[in-house]
Structure 1
């Protein structure tokens, strides 16, 4: 069971790094850095994987880990991370920045036009 949990954690760490570009020296650090980029259920599953990885290191505490729950948590996390498209996330972020800049310019132009009308220049 030690090798399976370690392999699952390594797979999840690789997916977090490639899909979300979250780096860290451990899964716990990566999950903390990912924060709200992950849904609550996936964060809960990853927290269980972090806890399991810590417990498995001690032979007596390794019995506390439920293999079926760990497998389910791994499966849910991998399923979500495989649906993320990094290119699409970058494009969406760029479109959101451009849209917010356009909105600010539109509002500023409307305020300037309103002031010019109130002062009688237009």
Structure 2
């Protein structure tokens, strides 16, 4: 049996991980889970990767029961891992922190003379697709 602190951490991480798999997708979360379980034996690493796929499959039903089953499986997997690798306790928060969206930025600058409406045109535009808002600028 695991101690209360370990179970509390594992339970919190499992619930957050299930929610992250539901919102971010299994591909993205498989990378995070792989980084977290890097100290584990190869069979435990494979089990964690398979658990990501299993969780994603369970969540297609969107039922609360499926989410509860997935979270229970993750609690056991995370608790077992943390029991063997106590130094990973400080890293469990990384499973809960969402990755910031990747931003694609394009800059276009226009200058020239000729047949522009209103004369010469000078200026540019920046597209920040998928990134954080910069306050309306």
Greater share of helix: 1
Q: How does the TM-score come out when normalised to structure 1? A: 0.34
Greater share of strand: 2
